[in-house]
Amino acid sequence: MNKQPLRIAIFTALYAPFLSGISIAVHQRVRWLLQQGHEVFLIHPQINDHYPKEVGDRPMLGLDELQSFPKFSAYAYPTKPLFYYKSAPEPLHHRHWSDTKLLQDFQPDVVVVEEATQMRGFYSFFWGGYGRPLGTEYAHKTGTPIVSLFHTDTVAYIQYFLGNSLSSLIRPIIPLIIKRFSEAYDINFFCSKEQLAKYKKMKVQRGVYLPYQGVDCQKFHPRNICHNPIPDDHRPTMLFVGRITPEKNVTQLLDIYPIIAAKIPDIHLVIVGSGSQDEEIRRRAKKFKSGVTVWGESHGTELLGWFARADIFVNPSVTENFCTTNNEALASGTPVVTTFAPSTSEQIFPSVNGFLAEPNNPTDFANKVITILANPDLKEEMSRQTRLSILEFDWSTCMEKLEEKLYQLVQASKPLEVLPISSLDSEKKPVVSNILW
């Protein structure tokens, strides 16, 4: 198989300074590919004056770190804030910019679309977005292989925000939408076996499991306790890191806290992050005085210190898909209590590296936390096991698997005749290969 460096175009719905696990993962992915000698063209959301000032001021790793690589280039596509979450971007319609023109100029060997559902308009229920699947027009016309990476359980988000009644009305058409959407790509990679199984039932096409979503086990490590943000506080610390938004169920932590505090009076809940529910969380946290700290955003070594410092990591969200912060906690040697969600059973092994609680059941969740914190021997054993449980998802290991799949796709497309774009408007894209599924 040809191992010459590839020309890789990557579209992403999220990137720094927009804060999310996807933004961080895309940055790590691009940096790793550049380090291997590949040429990468990153097409990412533009930051503009329509977003809160604090978004643009975030000290996140981003384009500045990648500019030193001679094989890196980027394009910031025009965006507007999502109508229900002003700190997240949505691409403007294809009338305002052309993904096809960008790819014609770059001429990639392979196209990767990260979080294609958001870019297409799923997150705004098709009231916005680009209006068509990213990269597919160029790929169909040139025979260039194109893949999508599924990050978010979009259907779970739709159900969460619409509620059961409205969701039931659109449920019959969801498989039709997913089938048509997924047919646009040669491969739809899922980093969770459970999520893939769920979407196969909803008629996803060409869905393949690939553990492309890892964690930097050298960066996230128990030794980061040296960066302890609260060195003089010896209370047991229960940590949450993530967006403070409805889909993350952060308000539920304030229902869970008093149940735990009744058994462990000195428990300290620390909420790290920001989002649309900031004010509500801070208002409710005042009731518990110093028992609950709403820290705000954290970056760099301070964030690494939080993960290593915590006695337990808590995540009440029911919409996670191989959650990044769960992985970061595990790599840092911190046991995790989270809820049953599409992929948490692939991360958390009960009584080994944490516990899985019933969704939206504060009492069950609290009892799982108490079981760990009230049993020093169990907590110590879990702390030993957490890092071991996540090492197979070390970032380099995951990226090598993705790289190999990209090589396979490019190699399989070589014999195909590439015709001029102008002559192929009515042509169907040739099937690249079925070797991956």
Domain boundaries, the chain: 7-214+395-423, 222-392
pLDDT tens profile 17-71: 999 989 999 999 999 999 999 999 999 999 999 999 999 999 998 999 999 999 9
Q: Does residue 2 or residue 8 have the better pLDDT?
A: 8
Q: How big is the chain, counted in residues?
A: 437
pLDDT tens profile 85-113: 889 999 999 999 999 999 999 999 999 99
Q: Cis omega before residue 17 (within 30°)?
A: yes
Task: Give me the chain's average pLDDT, please.
Answer: 91
CATH match of 7-214+395-423 with 3.40.50.2000:
yes
Tell me what pLDDT residue 424 has: 40
CA distances from 332 to 127, 216, 290, 329 (A): 40, 10, 25, 5
How sure is the predictor about 437, in pLDDT bands with cuts at 50, 70 and 90?
Answer: very low
What is the pLDDT averaged over residues 316-337?
94
CATH match of 222-392 with 3.10.620.30:
no
Rg value, the chain, Cα? 22
Do the beta carbons of residue 432 and residue 145 sit within 8 Å? yes
Domains 7-214+395-423 and 222-392 share a fold: yes
Q: To the nearest whole percent, how much of the chain has pLDDT over 70?
A: 94
pLDDT tens profile 334-376: 999 999 987 899 999 999 999 999 999 999 999 999 999 999 9
